[in-house]
Amino acid sequence: MIKVGPAGTGGTSNLEGIRKVAKMRLDCMEVEFTYGVRMPADMAEQLGELTRQLGIILSIHAPYYINLASDDAEKVTASRKRILDSCHRAHLMGARNVVFHAGFYQNKTGKKTYSLIKKQIIYLQKYISRQGWDVVLCPDVTGKPSQFGSVTEILSLMKDTGCGITVDFAHLYARQQGSINYEEILDRLPGQFHAHFSGIEYGPKGEKKHIKTTRKFFEPLAQLLVQRNLDVTIINESTQPYKDAAMMKRVLNAMQRQ
């Protein structure tokens, strides 16, 4: 089943955002902890109760200020805390996938960066297991070559640690300067995964910003997802995520009826 929904609430509360998702007959929503995990535990529990009532699937985007490969031990500790705080709230609200950008190469080799991030993922997973939280760490495919997070790197992390993946197709499009082969990517992915999609503006250094999602831009991926009958959750991260998620849902529904 292909499930589609927005990133964030469009300026309303999370409770209202979930109700709007249900009203628009979308399937899911990603709760955004963009600048910090400030949600009280009781609010996370309220969100979980509402989503169970309405049949909406939640995921979490952890704060952007994360670098598990930093040379500064304090920054690594702070990054771990942001991820773990996100995982705690995710567990309380019944959100399984926790998305985050894992780190930056800076002056390190890709191999060294990978090794540092792998070590931290394993540490986080052990902590999550001890707490009994039912969540999956899903590091994101990133939109800039200076950021750790190519498809190959995240797939290797999955193999080595058992973590999940967030396949941000827009990020990948920007990372590769507008070149993307969906068939080749899907051939490498598991049959079930979490994903992001939107329009994207990019430059020589990769991603600049998310923009409106057009039907023409989404259709090539949509066709393959339907043909392969994949179990995918797609979160729209455009500047108008509810409207664009609804468009994506219509496109998928039309293709599934053919």
> What is the predicted pLDDT for the residue at 257?
86
Residue 102 has pLDDT above 90, yes or no: yes
Percent of the chain's residues with pLDDT above 90: 93
β-pairing verdict for 199-203 and 206-211: antiparallel
What residue segments make up the domains of the chain, in order of their start?
Answer: 2-257
> What is the predicted pLDDT for the residue at 84?
98
> What is the predicted pLDDT for the residue at 252?
97
Residue 161 has pLDDT above 90, yes or no: yes
DSSP collapsed to 3 states, 181-228: CHHHHHHHCCCEEEEEECEEEEECCEEEEEECCCHHHHHHHHHHHHHH
Band the pLDDT of 258: cuts 50, 70, 90: confident
pTM for the complete prediction? 0.95
d(CA 47, CA 31): 10
What is the tens place of the pLDDT at every residue in 205-246?
A: 999 999 999 999 999 999 999 999 999 999 999 999 999 999
> What is the predicted pLDDT for the residue at 49?
97
What is the tens place of the pLDDT at every residue in 20-79?
A: 999 999 999 999 998 899 999 999 999 999 999 999 999 999 999 899 999 999 999 999
d(CA 227, CA 116): 38
Percent of the chain's residues with pLDDT above 70: 100
Largest CA distance in the chain: 54
Query: Is 163:193 a contact under the CB 8 Å cutoff?
Result: no
> Regarding the domain delimited by 2-257, which CATH topology (the fold level of the hierarchy) does it fall under?
TIM Barrel (3.20.20)
| Dihedral over Cα of 30, 103, 188, 168: its sign | positive
